[in-house]
Amino acid sequence: MSTQTLECDILVAGGGIAGVCCALAASRLGARVILCQDRPVLGGNASSEVRMHIVGATGLSGGGELETELREGGIIEELRLDLAVRNPQRSPSVMDLLLYDKCRREPNLTLYLNTTVVGATVAEGMIRKVRAERQSTEETFIIRARTFVDCTGDGRLGVEAGAPFMRGRENKAQYGESLAQETADVKTLGSSIMFQARRHDRPMPFAAPPWARRFTADDFKLRPYAQGGADLGLEYGYWWIEWGGSLDTIKDSEHIRDELLAITLGVWDFIKNHSGADASHWALEWIGFLPGKRESRRFVGQHVLTENDLIESRAFPDAIAYGGWPIDIHPPEGVDAPNEPPCVQHHLPFLYDIPLRACVSAGPRNLMFAGRNISATHVAFASTRVMATCAVVGQGVGTAAALALRENVLPADIAADSELVRVIQQQLLKDDCHLIGIRNEDDNDLVRSASMITASSSRAGTNPELVRSGQTRAVTCVPPNRVRPGTHRWMSDPARRLPAWLEIRWAAPVSVREVVLILDTGLHRLLTLSQADGYTQKMLWGRPQPETVKDYMLSVETANGWQEVARVENNYQRRRVHRFEQNKVITALRVTVTQTNGLDHARIIEVRAYA
């Protein structure tokens, strides 16, 4: 093995959804980032290797059409919209490619695929460097960084650095959790192997290998199978093929994979040959060889997030993300507990804050983490673990890591620096993340000090001033003391047709270099790449969202009169950033919408302008 030394500002270990969003956020803010991923593709449990669909706070409503705009914004929304439009065929490999493409496009981000972080050197309470290995090229990398972020799920980097972690299920008394065990144990949620099947035009026989498990209908009385209506819905199954939570999900992972393959083929054998369902024309198309791992280690951070934090929606001054998925607890024995439901979902009353302190180690002072290994009890983790929540935590951590480095503040000291926390939160809002109850108070945003905002027309109940309300979504699922009710977007009058325009005017000329627009992408709707046909039918997949502005122009008024500075066609994204080569001294800015992707009127949620 040859050895190379690499230098960066931030080393992110693990390229699941948390790691990718963390690395993208930090590198987009100018930090030099290295992302090490031990697999050939990015995405972790959302990759083509495992194929879980990304869910998040939309689970608060129990699914379907949402009464409020719960869907996460920021990088995960950018990814979801790209996939909805550019992957109508729902190919899992296109997901891998999209994540790879996003990373490859970032000039400050260097991606090391097939590269496993295997060691760390700590001195005076700080991680100084990590060791990573790429077996395919027989290379060892010594990677020096200022901040290290563990997004490996299993917490390998932190463990190598001696960071404290928890494992298993706490008892009720430890954190005062009603949903915890009477007695603590070392069990976790289990792992699963997913499969995909396809219906053919002729019978497709299946003979199980001798090592497959044998099941009877009694084993599945609480586990729904072949329930997709006339076509049985066998195209994607089954998250409840879960096993191994009574073992060590790291050390026993090879054994768990073998047993899960035996279980998965046993389930398929039962459906095809013994269940009575007419599955004769169905055949396996794909079967996972990499078990999706739900749980292993959870780090001990500066704060341990608990059930009560979630249920009470406790307000944290250092909030960097939010969650809302139910507390989703499974029996560790999985299919070997046929008399227990495969999951019990305890729905939460509100969205909840995730504080930065749950993502900063109580050990090494420059270690942060994002994803399923954050500092949360087993019960709280049962909600935070879903991938859109991991994504927003990843973006929050990447943003905090990058901005703290600019100020020379160690991760361990960020939360105590209220001004830095404010800057991090304002950056997250600027990047279209949502933080419960926090508004745009960015002093650099010139739109906030504009003298007048007008429009060609406004639909009843809205007005152009709403593009600087400081709030970019209607979220009613928050405790009363944190609600900020009201409409938050300008809509043109449908009767006046398109084009429609919105104009921002300043009393004195301002110098503008960047304009940020937030457009409507229907955050009240589900949207995620899924291999399940029934779930996808609840979304508008394979097309832009109808609310979204499709074609628009940006014009500015200068001393020489009006000039067009940007023209966009076929937009489907929610966040659009226009950066000019040079500052423009302007007295007014106008957005003219000529077409949407479906609606008969224009909608603009927020406009920001920066020098």
Ligand X SMILES: Cc1cc2nc3c(=O)[nH]c(=O)nc-3n(C[C@H](O)[C@H](O)[C@H](O)COP(=O)(O)OP(=O)(O)OC[C@H]3O[C@@H](n4cnc5c(N)ncnc54)[C@H](O)[C@@H]3O)c2cc1C
Q: Which of 8, 9, 11, 14 binds ligand X (CB under 6 A)?
A: 14
Q: Distance between CA 208 and CA 214 in Å, rounded?
A: 9
- Which residues fall within 8 angstroms of residue 440, CB to CB, at 6 or more apart? 426, 429, 430, 448, 468, 470, 471, 472, 606, 608
Please state, in angstroms and rounded to a whole number, the distance separating the CA atoms of residues 489 and 605.
4
Tell whether the torsion through CA atoms of 125, 126, 131 and 132 is positive or negative: positive
85 binds ligand X (CB under 6 A): no
Candidates 151-159, 203-211, 215-223, 511-519; binding stretch for ligand X (CB under 6 A): 151-159
DSSP 295-309: -S-EE-BSS-B-HHH
Query: Nearer to ligand X by C-beta: 39 or 550?
Result: 39
DSSP assignments along 369-385, one per residue: E-STTSSB-HHHHHHHT
535 makes contact with ligand X (CB under 6 A): no
For residue 584, what are the CA distances in angstroms to 510, 579, 581?
8, 11, 9
Nearer to ligand X, 245 or 464 (CB): 245
Cβ closest to ligand X, residue 146 vs residue 372: 372
- 523 Cβ contact partners less than 8 Å away, ≥ 6 residues apart: 69, 70, 71, 73, 77, 473
With CB under 6 A as the contact rule, the residue among 110, 131, 172, 239 that binds ligand X is: 239
Residue 356 and residue 412: Cα distance in Å, rounded? 10
- DSSP letter for each residue of 299-362: E-BSS-B-HHHHHTT---TTEEEEE---EEE--TTGGG-TTS-S-EEE--SS-EEEEGGGGBBS
Among positions 27, 147, 152, 555, the unique one binding ligand X when judged by CB under 6 A: 152
The identity of residue 134, as a single letter, is: R
Q: What are the strands, taking DSSP E only, across 201-334?
A: 242-243, 282-287, 292-293, 298-299, 319-323, 327-329
The residue from 36, 232, 429, 605 that contacts ligand X (CB under 6 A) is: 36
CB 294 within 8 A of CB 188: yes
- Per-residue binder mask for ligand X (CB under 6 A), 188-227, x = binder: ---xx-----------------------------------
**Does residue number 37 form part of the binding site for ligand X (CB under 6 A)?**
yes
Q: How many CA atoms lie within 13 A of 511 on its CB side?
A: 4
Q: Does 385 bind ligand X (CB under 6 A)?
A: yes
On whether the CB atoms of residues 471 and 488 are closer than 8 A, the answer is yes
Strands 2-7, 139-144: pairing kind: parallel
Choose the binding region for ligand X from 277-285, 386-394, 461-469, 483-491 (rule: CB under 6 A). Answer: 386-394
Residue from 158, 371, 396, 398 that binds ligand X (CB under 6 A)? 371
Nearer to ligand X, 149 or 390 (CB): 390
| Alpha carbons 405 and 498: distance in angstroms, whole number | 46
For ligand X, the closer CB: 139 or 312: 139
Judged by CB under 6 A, the stretch of 92-100, 150-158, 408-416, 432-440 that binds ligand X is 150-158
377 counts as binding ligand X under rule CB under 6 A: no
Q: Is 329 in the site for ligand X (CB under 6 A)?
A: no
Can residue 429 be called a binding residue for ligand X (CB under 6 A)?
A: no
Could you tell me the smallest distance in angstroms from the CB atom of residue 239 to ligand X?
A: 5
Q: Is 116 in the site for ligand X (CB under 6 A)?
A: yes
* Closer CB to ligand X, 26 or 423, in the complex: 26
Instruction: Please select the residue that binds ligand X; options are 197, 386, 421, 446, rule is CB under 6 A.
Output: 386
Least distance CB 324 / ligand X (angstroms): 12
29 binds ligand X (CB under 6 A): no
For ligand X, the binding residues in 280-299 under the rule CB under 6 A are: 292-294
Comparison of 42 and 436: residue with beta carbon closer to ligand X: 42
120 binds ligand X (CB under 6 A): no
Q: Residues for the chain: how many in total? A: 611
Count of residues that interact with ligand X, criterion CB under 6 A: 36
Residue 506 C-beta: closest distance to ligand X, Å: 44
3 burial (CB, 10 Å; 0-12 / 13-18 / 19+) is exposed
- Count of helix runs (H) and strand runs (E) in the chain: 12, 27
Q: Give the binding site for ligand X (CB under 6 A).
A: 13-19, 36-39, 44-45, 52-55, 116-117, 151-154, 156, 191-192, 239, 292-294, 371-372, 385-387, 390
